Chains A and B, each alone.
Chain A
Amino acid sequence: MLIFTLRRISLFIFTMLVLTLLSFSLSFLFPGDTVINHSGQINATASELAQLNKAYQMDKSIVNQYGAYLTHILNGDLGQSMASQSPISNEIIELLPATIELSLVALLIAMTVGIPLGFIAAIKHNKTSDHVILSLAMLGYSIPVFWLGLLAILVFSIGLGWLPSAGKISLLFEIEFITGIQFIDILLSDSPYKWQAFSNASAHIILPACVIALAPATIFIRLSRAAMIEVLATSYIRAARAKGLSFQQIIFRHAIRNALIKIIRHVGLQFANLVTIAMVTEVIFSWPGIGRWLIESIYQRDYTAIQGGLLVLSCFIFIIHILTDFIYAALNPLARGNKHGS
C-alpha cells in the first residue's frame, strides 16, 4: 500500500509540474506583456511593474522565470483577475465549492439512478427491459447538455413554474460564507429562515444537477450492466447457484458487491467528464461556480484567470482521480499490486 501511495504521489507531482509548465507557457502565448499575464496587474505603475518583473525574475533565464512562477503558485499567489482586480485565489476559494457541491450532487444522482438500472438490465439480459434501458441510455447519452438544460428551464421553470432556473438559492436569503458548500453553510448559519433556505437551495440544485447527471448516469448504466453480466458469468456465482442459494441471495450478497468494485474504478474517470458538463451547465443555470467563472474569463480575455482556473480545476480533478484510486485499492487488494499505474 505504501508503494502504491508513493507511486500515486509521484505521479501527481509530475503531472502538476507539466500542468504548471503549460500554464506558465500560456503567459507567453497570450497576447500582451508576459509579466502582466502572470500577475494580472493591468493598471500597474512603472515602479510596480519593475517590482513585478523582479518578483517573477523576468530578467533571468527562462528556467529561473519558471522557478519564480512556481514559487508564486506554491505560495497560493495565482495573480489577480484582470477583469475584477481581486486575487484569483480568493475568487477560486469562493467559487470552487459551489462547483464541487453541484458535481457531487449530480454524481450522486447519476449513481443512484444509473447503477441500479444497469443491474436490472444485466439481470434481465437480452430481455425487453434490458433493451428498453439500453435504448434509453443511448438516447440520454446523445442529448447535448446545453439543449437539455434549456429545455429543462423551458418546461420546469417557465412552463410549469415548479423549479427555479438560476442561481444557488433565492437572493432573499442571506447565508454567510463559511465552507462555500451551500447546504453546510445553511445548516451552520443562525438565520431564522434556515429551513426555508434549505428547501429553497434544494429546489435550486435539482434542475442543474439532473441535467449534469444524465450523461454520466447513462454511462453508469452501461458500466454496471457490463460489470454485472461479467460477475454473473463467473464460476463462483454458478457455484452459489448450484449450492441452492436463492436468486436474491446471489444478487445482493455476492453479485452486487463484486460488480460495484469494478464500477468504483470508473467513478474518478466519470468525475472529470462530469465537471466538464458542469461547466456548460453552470452557464445555463447561472450557477456561481468555477466553470461559469472560467467561461466568463475566456469571454473577457482575462488571461490570468484562465491560467489560474485551468490549473486549479485540473489539479482538483486529478485529486479526485487519486482518491477514487485509493478507495478502489482499499476495497480491492488485487489492485494494489498493479505495477503500471492505471
Chain B
Amino acid sequence: MAVLTMSFKPTLPLLITAFVSLLAGCNEGNKLSLSERSIIYCSEGSPETFNPQLSTSGTTTDATSKQLYNSLIVYEGNNNTLGPSLAKSWHVTRDGKKITFYLRQDVHFHQTSYFTPTRFLNADDVLFSFNRIVDKNHAYHQVSGGQYPFFQSAKFAELIEKIEKINDYTIRFILKRNDSSFLANLATDYAVILSAEYGEKLLNKGTPHKIDILPIGTGPFKFKDYRVGSLIRFYRHDSYWQGPAKIEQLVFDITLSKTSRLTKLLAKECDVSSYPIAHAKIAERTDLILESITSLNVGYFGFNTKKEPFNNKLVRQAISLAINKQAIINTVYHSQAARAKSILPETSWAYDSETPELGYDPIRAKSLLAIAGYAQGFTMDLWAMPVQRAYNPNALTMAKLIQADLKKIGVKVKIVSYEWSTFLRRLSLGEHQSFLLGWNADTPEPDNFFTPMLSCSASETGNNRTFWCNKEFDQLLQEALKTTNMKQRKRYYAQAMVIINEEMPLLPIAHSKRYQARGTDVVGDILSNFGGISFYQAAKINTNNKAPTIENPDMVNKVSN
C-alpha cells in the first residue's frame, strides 16, 4: 500500500495542474518555453525527397536545402554576389576552365540516431556529392531513380571533364568549356554537399536508398522525423559551423489547404505560414505580419507541343492571343504581380526592353484558328496545379478564367487537377494537352530561366513539360553561356525571347511576389530572393514580457555571412 501511495503522489497534483491549465484555456508555464524554442511552419506540400539534388520542386527545396544542407558557395548581400559557404575561397583560371575550391576545415555533419560522423567535411564529400550526379558508374548514381533534373538541364555531366581532389581540403573542377553560369549553378539550392562517409556506411549495409530518405548534411538543422503528408520535424544542429540556430525545434506542418493554413495562422497554431491567402485580413491583425519579396519567377500557361492540336504553332499563337492576361493578374494575383511579356522578368539584368509581347486579340486569335483548320474550335484539357506557388497563387481560378476566355473563340476547355505529386508525375509522362505551372529562379543568372524550362535537354528529363525542342533556340543559349560579355549575352537572350514569342511553347502570364505571413513574435529573415527559405536566422521573441526560460545562444560574432 505504501508503494502505491508513493507512486500516485507525484502524478495527482500534476493531473490537477494539467486540468487547471486546460481550463484556463491556454497553456502557461513550461509549454511557453517549449513553443518559444520552436517554430511551426505551415508548409503547402510534402517534399518529394530529402535530397534537393533530385528535384526542382520549390516545396522540396524549401523543406530541405537551406535547413539540412549547405552548398560550396552562396549568394549574399543585396547585389547578389557570390560568397563563401563550405568553400572559404575559390579561384578561377583565366580561361574559366579550372575552378579550385578551398574548403573550411571545421564543418561537422549531423549526428543523428541513424548516423554518427567520425570526421569533418572534406574533399571526399564534395567529390561524392558531385560524382553522384555526373558519373553514371557511381555507386549512387542510379539510387532513387538516377534523375538529377536541374543538373541534367544544365548539362553538368557534359560540362565537367573531371573533379580532382588536390588534398583533403582542396578540390578542383575541370570544365570542358567555359560556362558563365557554372558558379551560379553551384550556388543554387540543388548543389548541396552530402556525406561520403554516410554513403559508404549505407552501401555496406545494403540500404543506399536511405541516403535520400534519412538525410545527413551540414546544415543548421538535422532531420528527426517525417510523416508523409503530415509533418517534418527538425532539431537544431548544435555544432553547426556558423554557430547553432536560435530555435531548437523546427516543425513543418504540411497543410495543403490554403484556408486551413489561414485558420492555423489566425488560431496561432503555426508561427509562420507559406503562401497565405486573405492578405487584407492578415494585414489588419496587429499580431500578424504579412511580408513579401520580389522573387524572380514566372507563371505560365504551357502547351504540350507533342500533342494535337498544340503541335501546330498557329494554334498555340491563337490560344495565347485569346487570353486576357491583365484580367488574370487583377483576379488571381490581386494586381500584385507584373504582367509577363516574356519568360524573363523585367528586373533581370538580361531583360531587353525591346522584347515583343503577344497581346490580347481574340479576333486575330479566331482567324488564326481558322487558318490552322480549327474554325469550328475544339475541346482541350487544361491541367491546373493543385498547390499555391508564388508564381501562381490560385491555378484553379486562373484555369476558369482561361476557360471563359477560350470559350469566346469556340474552344472548350476541360479543367483537370490531381494531387500534387500525381500531377507532376503525370505531367512528366506527357499525358496533358496544356497546363498551368511556373518557375522560380534559383539564381539571378538569366540562363536559369531558359535552360531548365525550355531547352531540349530539359524536355528529355521531364522539366520542360511543353516538350518543345528548338535547335536554334538551344544554340543561342549555348552561345550565351560561352561568353562573359554581358552585352553580348543580353543580345543572345533577346533573340531567344523572340523565338519563344514566335513559337509560343508557353504563354508567360505573370511575375509575382512571394508572400509569407508570420506572428509578430517571430523575428529574423526567412524568405530570400532566390531559392528556398531558411530558418537559420529565425527566432522567437517573448511578446508577453516574461523572462525567457532558456538563454538564447549568442551567435552574432560567430556568424560569418
Contacts and interface: CB of A to CB of B under 8 A. Distances in A.
Interface of A: 83-84, 86, 153, 157-158, 161-167, 170-174, 193, 195-196, 198-200, 202-203, 286, 288, 299-300
B18 A172 contact: no
Contacts of B264: 165-166
Nearest to A162: B25
Nearest to A200: B27
Contacts of A172: 34-35, 38, 40, 249, 251
A158 B266 contact: yes
Given A172-B34, A193-B30, A193-B31, A166 B230 contact: no
A203 B27 contact: yes
The winner among A86, A153, A170, A174 for most chain B CB atoms within 10 A is A170
B26 interface: yes
A171 B266 contact: no
A47 B124 CA distance: 40
Given A165-B264, A172-B38, 18 more contacts: A83-B422, A84-B228, A86-B228, A153-B263, A157-B263, A158-B263, A162-B25, A165-B267, A165-B269, A174-B224, A193-B31, A195-B18, A196-B21, A196-B29, A199-B18, A199-B19, A202-B18, A300-B422
B260 A286 contact: yes
Contacts of B356: none
Contacts of A203: 22, 25, 27
Nearest to A157: B267
Contact of A300 (B31, B269, B419): B419
A71 to B, nearest CB: 29
Contacts of B224: 174
Interface on chain A toward B: helix, strand, loop, or mixed SS?
loop
Contacts of A286: 255, 260
A12 B14 CA distance: 44
28 contacts: A83-B419, A83-B422, A84-B228, A157-B266, A158-B263, A161-B267, A164-B269, A165-B264, A165-B267, A166-B260, A166-B264, A171-B233, A171-B253, A174-B225, A174-B233, A193-B30, A193-B31, A195-B14, A195-B17, A195-B18, A196-B21, A198-B18, A199-B19, A199-B21, A203-B22, A286-B255, A300-B418, A300-B422
A263 to B, nearest CB: 28
Given A165-B263, A200-B31, A300-B422, A171 B231 contact: yes
B269 A167 contact: yes
Interface in B201-252: 224-225, 228-231, 233, 249, 251
B15 A195 contact: yes
B268 interface: yes
Nearest to B13: A195
Contacts of A198: 18
A199 B263 CA distance: 21
